[in-house]
Amino acid sequence: MAATITGVITALLLLLNTLILIGPMMLVALLKVILSGSRARQVCSSVVMAIAETWAEICKAIFALMTPTQWEIRGVEDLRGDTSYLVISNHQSWVDIPALIQAFNRKTPYFKFFLKKELIWVPFLGLAFWALDYPFMKRYSKAFLEKYPHLKGKDLEITRQACEKFQGIPVTVVNFLEGTRFTAAKHDNQQSPYRHLLKPKAGGVAFVLAALGDNLDAILDVTILYPEGAPPGFWDLLCGQVDRVVVDVQTRPLKPALWRSDYQEDPVFRAEMQQWVSDLWAQKDARLVQMAEQENQGSAQPAKRAGRD
């Protein structure tokens, strides 16, 4: 009962925070629509980002006040707000999003996700995404392109145009290579070669790099571990039933060779990209095993001392 009450109060505080700050954000977003000068729009974008970062900081404070969750964030000491990053992370739970906020808010540029172009028409939400400069993308399936070959490359062109606003501006783009949250059933169904991960999709990250590669400076390779075992749900987090979350961040260089060619049309480049992603994921899987072993050793140590006492 106490956990449910905690969950309800935490949810209400997060909702209140959102309702208070969404008003100013919508106002600035409307100004951004009305104003025509690029400089004025850039100022509006900066104000919207500041509001979003404030919202995220208040969310962090609410979680700190209402829940006992310990967030262990590793490898963020040298991150900067004037550098552009591509964040690549494993995906297990909706708690991953608060974990990324804990790790990166006000340490890097406010992070963005590539969104389907259709989401811009969602009332209020679409305007908020547009105001936050989230890149909207258009993806055509292989079957669609076989039927309409004259549209080949058009989806990438649309996305590149959407990303022009990032020219010379620091940005952090988040990409979940697995494309969906991890479950044991999905893992078994895929016959994934990894112990703790689903198969990554190289096409998605290749698309992001093709659209934004020249604007990015480094990869932030993020590995999220829930030491208690099964990934918790967001309601578990709100109720204070998530004791600990570990977020390990490794900064990796970005090589221009990763976007030197067309992923769909160049089979050699496609094989190289798939191998790069597979190697990255194998290292991440091994890191998850190592992190879990370290957590188990750490939790066993106090019990051993207690036994000797």
**What are 162-173's pLDDT values in tens digits?**
676 776 788 898
Q: Can you read off the two tokens belonging to residue 187? A: 């893992």
Q: Can you read off the two tokens belonging to residue 55? A: 């919202």
14 vs 94: CA distance, rounded Å = 15
Q: How far apart are the first and last CA of the chain?
A: 35
Share of the chain above pLDDT 70, in %: 84
- The least confident of 54-58, 166-170, 207-211, 228-232 is 166-170
Which sign, positive or negative, has the C-alpha torsion 188, 189, 192, 197? negative
**Highest mean predicted confidence (pLDDT) among 49-58, 140-149, 289-298:** 49-58
CA atoms within 13 A on the CB side of 195: 9
68 vs 42: CA distance, rounded Å = 39
Confidence of residue 303 (pLDDT cuts 50, 70, 90): very low
> Model's pTM, two decimal places?
0.85
